[in-house]
Amino acid sequence: MTTATAPAPTAGRARGRRRDRSLYVTPVLVVLIVAGVVTWIDAQDFTRPGRAPEGRALDFGSLWTQFLQQAYLVVVSTVVVVVISIPIGILLSRRSAGRLGDAVLAVGGFLQALPPFGVIILMAFSPLGFGAPSAIVALVIASFLPVLTNTVVGLRQVEPSFIEAARGMGMSAGMTLRRVELPLAVPVMVAGIRVALVLNVGTATLATFIGAGGLGTPIQSMLKLGRTDAAFAVAALVTALALFVDWLAALAERAVRGAGG
């Protein structure tokens, strides 16, 4: 008589459990980083005599203002990227676009290869001048390719049979795009937006060099004062922000994939 054994968990379920654990690990790590940096800054007592420049740069009120400046640059630039890249990606994914889609992606790849610092500095000498508008344009240039590429790839990967079935049911091309193609391509598109968000968090730190503020300001100040430890502490806050943004985007990506599945 044979003994029945329980089936082993599938690889898909194992991967799902690992993703579930990662959703809890990231916010805990972010909290630990922020708490550690805040505790370290508080222990330094930058208000002591002789530490006025450092105290002003690492004052919690000043750090909060610079954090909001960085968040503003990231949010606005990412919204602009989404508004520009997704419609262009939809147009380039159409058969009528022909080789134009590949050509635009090639140009986008060239722009993506440009050093972000160089793009930011060049934008400062544009008609927009120094400040947040130039930084936002530079961030858009630096991060629009992932969203554009994922939009094109996501729409091109939709099964032709689904499109043909929708057209056979009497749907117009526009209805097929809205009701069939876009819902199936959304998970891939969200993955591109996730990459753009994380890119913008890191690149926005360089916006301080053109007077746009952000967390790059205290980093630059600490490096000028020879306080590499303090610069590292603020850089850790930038890392925590990038991890948190990536975590939020991962939740959105997981939600749309679950809805699509």
- Asked if residue 206 lies in contact with residue 124, where contact means CB atoms within 8 angstroms, the answer is no
Q: What is the pLDDT of residue 89?
A: 87
**Quick one: tokens of 146?**
């992932």
Q: What is the pLDDT of residue 82?
A: 92
Ranges of beta strands (E only) in 60-178 are none
Percentage of the residues of the chain whose pLDDT score is greater than 70 = 82
Q: What is the pLDDT of residue 1?
A: 46
Q: What is the pLDDT of residue 75?
A: 93
The per-residue pLDDT for range 238-260, each reduced to its tens digit, is 999 999 998 988 888 888 766 55
- Asked if residue 254 lies in contact with residue 19, where contact means CB atoms within 8 angstroms, the answer is yes
- Asked if residue 81 lies in contact with residue 143, where contact means CB atoms within 8 angstroms, the answer is yes
DSSP conformation letters of 236-257: HHHHHHHHHHHHHHHHHHHHHH
pLDDT at 72 over 90: yes
Q: What is the mean pLDDT of residues 223-229?
A: 84
Q: What is the pLDDT of residue 51?
A: 57
- Asked if residue 132 lies in contact with residue 74, where contact means CB atoms within 8 angstroms, the answer is no
Q: What is the pLDDT of residue 166?
A: 80
pLDDT at 52 over 80: no
From 75, 19, 8, 45, select the one nearest 255 (Cα to Cα). 19
pLDDT at 163 over 60: yes
- Per CATH, is 20-260 categorized as 3.90.1150.10? no
Average pLDDT, the chain: 81
Q: Where are the alpha helices (DSSP H) in the chain?
A: 11-44, 52-57, 60-93, 100-113, 116-124, 132-156, 160-168, 173-176, 182-203, 216-224, 228-260
Distance separating alpha carbons of residues 217 and 259, to the nearest angstrom? 41
Residue spans of the domains in the chain: they are 20-260
Q: What is the pLDDT of residue 81?
A: 92
Any idea what DSSP says for residue 227?
A: -
